[in-house]
Structure 1
Amino acid sequence: MELYLKENGMRADLNYGELTVSGNEDYGFRPFQLMVASIAGCSGSVFRKILEKQRTEIEDLIINAEVVRNPEEANRIEEISLVFTVKGYNLDPEKLYKNLEISRKNCSMVRSVEDSIKIKERIESIELSR
């Protein structure tokens, strides 16, 4: 991956498209936003794959991420809380949490930061009827 200097940040030309990174969100994605999105996106993708393998019928998976940053340490990310809202059929909360634990162990982004950023996870399940 190559990044190129722009007036207000950096640009990367990737297979999917151009990514612009800037400390000012008027000019691009802020670095902390990309980190949180990477962690949530990786975790959600792995979780979804596990649910599919378990034949858990879901209609939707929404992840809400809350971030705690430390302004005295260069706005370091201290904690990320992920709330997984799972909408589906015949949902077993215990099974969902077990699958989330497995996804945590298999998500490269979570594993990369687990010793420096506290990652909290919670599930809200919404049972749909047919």
Structure 2
Amino acid sequence: MRRTVPVAGNLDYENADAFVAEVERLLAERPETTRLHLDCTELTFCDSTGLSALLLIRRLTEAAGIELYLDNRPPVLDRMLGLTGTFDHLVAAAGTPESAGGGRDESLNSPPLSTYSRQGALRQGPGGAAE
């Protein structure tokens, strides 16, 4: 089963730990997840702690047999991945989103996600609730 998690704003030292904890919680609630897509469309900044969080999520998903995809990466994230030599590890390991095939996407049925800081790591919906 495919699961999509929207990521927005800054992924940095202020919210990286909470972001990882929330992803862990979501995966624990849905052990049938086989593909995790982090939709980075609205990600505006990622520092070294944010990169560390992505690497930790990669290790967690790999250990659980879940394919991880970083979808709609902004140039700032691709640049960070390129400069640190982690692009192939985080992006090429699972292939492209198109290679993920079909499958049910549980993104619309995902529970609301917490807001992690003023700038957030997850997109906020109406009324301040994360989408």
Same fold (TM over 0.5): no
Decide which structure has greater helix share: 2
Q: Is the strand fraction higher in 1 or 2?
A: 1
Larger Rg: 1 or 2? 1
* TM-score, normalised relative to structure 2: 0.30
